[in-house]
Amino acid sequence: MTAADISPAAALLDWYKAMGVDEAIEDSPVDWFAAAEKTRLAAKATPVRKSPETTPPPSEPRPGFASIAPDEAVMDAEKRAASAKTLEELEQTLSEFNGCPLKATARKMCFKRGSNNARIMLIGEGPGRDEDVQGLPFVGRAGKLLDKMLAAISLSEDDVYITNIVYWRPPGNRNPTPLEVQACLPFLNRQAELLDPDFLVLIGAPASQHLLGTTQGITKIRGAWRDCELGGKTRRALPMLHPAYLLRTPAAKRLAWRDLLTLKAALGAKE
């Protein structure tokens, strides 16, 4: 095989990686080139009669998943979320909800981790690869850094409640779209209502912008307390830089430390 033969295959692999296809699903590799050749030879041997009146059947949806129109999805989400009396019931009813398109491509739902009695509710943007595998938010490299950041002000997983604005991984770790967020927002509202935390910490730009209704960048709004309407009441919310950004930009950790001290001071004042 020549370099010219390898180049298109390498480009295809790069495209798959950019689209979020970053792991093998089957235990054994599949030779798709051989399968394609077999299909080609079979088609050559058996000509297919085409009819202009016949249209190809639609592709099959993912088993157990049926897409819903955006407005219907939001109404269904509101109805389901309102019916949950506890966080455990809310997690169960969310698992049965098909109104967010992200569910069709994700492996697992990531509802929350942490304490159901926490005073602090941390809200990120969406699960990544590690979260999609484990079914828990903030468990990858960024999550480990977040745990260290919390530990620096004497907080642990037992003191916080961690979730995201969407509960399934966006393909390629892209930012969630407004429609995806709107489909999940009723469940996030109900989470906040049932938990009733003293403080919200909004991690990263997407979570901060969606929940605060602003287009300003996270570097401009971080570090200052804002009013956030969530869970049926106005709550104090602190936008912070995302740990993933800190991993890429270590110099910004000094800003994150200031924000952590702001949170610590608020906790002390509340006590």
Q: Among residues of the chain, what percentage have pLDDT more than 90?
A: 72
Confidence of residue 53 (pLDDT cuts 50, 70, 90): very low
Token code pair at residue 156: 């642990």
Give the model's pLDDT for residue 270.
72
Q: Is the pLDDT of residue 64 over 60?
A: no
Mean pLDDT, rounded, of the chain? 86
Domain positions in the chain are 70-270
Confidence of residue 177 (pLDDT cuts 50, 70, 90): very high
Token code pair at residue 141: 């490299």
Q: Give mean pLDDT, residues 115-122.
A: 98
CATH architecture classification, 70-270: 3-Layer(aba) Sandwich (3.40)
Give the model's pLDDT for residue 33.
62
Burial of 89 (0-12, 13-18, 19+ CB in 10 A): middle
DSSP type of residue 218: H
Whether the CB-CB separation of 165 and 156 falls below 8 Å is answered with no
The rounded distance, in Å, linking the Cα atoms of 35 and 29 is 12
Q: Give mean pLDDT, residues 138-152.
A: 97
Give the model's pLDDT for residue 210.
97
Distances (CA, A) of 31 to 2, 5, 43, 261, 267: 19, 16, 19, 55, 58
Q: Which tens digits make up the pLDDT trace of 232-265?
A: 999 999 999 999 999 999 999 999 999 999 999 9
Q: Which tens digits make up the pLDDT trace of 12-41?
A: 667 666 655 666 555 556 565 665 566 566
Q: What is the full DSSP assignment across 150-205?
A: HHTTT--GGGEEEEESSSSPPGGGPPPPHHHHHHHHHHHHHHHHHH--SEEEEESH
Look up the pTM and report it. Answer: 0.76
